[in-house]
Amino acid sequence: MSNSSDADVISLRGEKVGYSVAVVGLGTTGGHIIKQLLATSVESRPARICLIDKRPERVSTAAAVIRAANSAALVQSGGLSSGQVAITVGQADDPADAFHSSHIAILATDCGSHAALAIDALRSGCHVVSMSDRPEEVDDLLVLDSLARHHERSLVVGAGMAPGLSCLLARFAGNQLDSVLAINVAKAGTAGPACARQHHRALKSSGRDWVGHRWEYRRGGSGRDLAWFPEPIGPRDCYRGALPSPILLQRQYPDAQRISARVSATRRDRFTSRLPMLRKPHQDGGPGAIRVEVRGRRDGAVETIVLAVAAFPSESAAAVSVEAAQSVLAGMAAHGAHGLASWPDPGAVLSELRRRGVAIFTFGDDRFRSEAG
Amino acid sequence: MLMLARRVVAALSFAGLTAALFRLRGQGGVAQQQGGWRELTDVELIGR
């Protein structure tokens, strides 16, 4: 560790409780992860956040945000009341150092480094939440299932907006049906620059669709489909691409006839997808949305449930990763590597996400209203 | 020339009659006038 946590401790009552979380990658989404951790209820807040990023200025910015929140907490609690402990800030040049002293690691770095980081973290006895949205990397992470089980730890794969929130919505809709026949995921918008680069890569790469109980590889940018998202996104043309949601959903619904995912793109996006990115990506590519359409049978009839979220992908992905981390620490996740489609109670997680400002929409019917009532 | 004109008139008449038939007797129904996106509440998410 380059900076010991002890030098930074600001404790309201001098006691150390709670858990320690390592946040690897402090870009646009990583910054929102810090804010979401700080916005967590007092009893669920981490006692220590270890910040890891290649760029020192990002670490300084995140540390300043945490210290400001600590100061506000000190003022609010009047010094020694309320029993809450202010969050300690740690920094590490080498993620492996941070993993040894953390209960859980949230990986929000660029795609490509998650599998190696996850191996280090699991071997250090640390749970892992990965936000990778690259299909090959999702495959690599799922292979770590036996390692995670061996160390009795959970490795949550694809805990972002899509995959992640898309998996939770699909599972929630699937729970309303007797059997699931087809799942279609559509996504619009990007989070930070790393997400935008992955979006660019996805459009030029082959996508994997589960069709008739086997994988079919389809050319990226093909298969135009008009998807209607909640406002302010509205209708967008969506295309196939290298998207990992079907990989994670197929593990939960292997008997489905069709599982596919598409991503929104303009004519220019498709035209330039074969070229290097011609200009620097936006710092935040939101607002965006995801839409999950699940078709299945219930009481002998075929029904379709459509769920969606319209939000900034960076904010909603951060909220999903933090909720996933808290669910793991609460013992709600089994050991091993799995996506959020295997989460036992997706409704509870979606409800918590709603409290964090992620509104969940359904299209048209009153199915949920009548059943809940 | 007259034959061509007759065929054009016949074709247009047939097209018009067919369109009128579909327009007046069609069973296409009316597009959905209500519904749309609706936010799920906590009760709907965890109430089951």
B29 touches chain A (CB under 8 A): no
A91: confidence class by pLDDT, cuts 50, 70, 90: low
3-state secondary structure of B28: coil
CA–CA separation, A190 and A281 (whole Å): 10
- Which residues from A are below 8 Å from B45, CB to CB? 172, 347-348, 350-351, 354, 360, 368
Residue A108 pLDDT more than 60?
yes
pLDDT, tens only, A13-70: 344 457 889 999 999 999 999 999 988 876 677 878 889 998 889 988 988 888 888 7
Comparing A167-171, A222-226, A329-333, A358-362, the range with the smallest average pLDDT is: A329-333
Per DSSP, the residues of A181-202 read: EEEEEEEE---SHHHHHHHHHH
Kindly state the tokens that stand for A126.
Answer: 């640390």
Q: For residues A75 and A57, is the Cβ–Cβ distance under 8 A?
A: no
Question: By the 8 A CB rule, do A334 and A177 touch?
Answer: no
Look at A360 and B38 and tell me if their CB atoms are within 8 Å: no
By the CB < 8 Å criterion, does B23 face chain A?
A: no
Rounded to a whole number, what is the distance in Å from the CA of B33 to chain A's nearest CA?
11
Using the beta-carbon criterion (under 8 Å), do A354 and B42 form an inter-chain contact?
Answer: yes
Q: Which of B36, B38, B46 sits opposite A348 (nearest CB)?
A: B46
Residue with tokens 């793991």: A328
* Residue contact A361–B40, C-beta within 8 A: yes
Question: Over the stretch A154-171, which tens digit does the pLDDT of each residue have?
Answer: 999 999 999 999 999 999
Identify the bridge partners of residue A259 per DSSP, sorted by sequence position: A183, A210
> Minimal Cα distance from B36: which residue of A?
A364
Q: Count of CB atoms within 10 A of residue A181's CB?
A: 17
A182: tokens are 């087809």
CB contacts, 8 Å: B40 with chain A: 307, 350, 354, 360-362, 368
**What is the average pLDDT value for chain A, to the nearest integer?**
86
- Note the pLDDT of residue A45: 77
Q: Which residue has the higher pLDDT, A317 or B29?
A: A317
B46 touches chain A (CB under 8 A): yes
Do the chains contact at B42 and A373, CB–CB below 8 Å?
A: no
Q: What is the DSSP letter of A72?
A: H
pTM of the model: 0.85
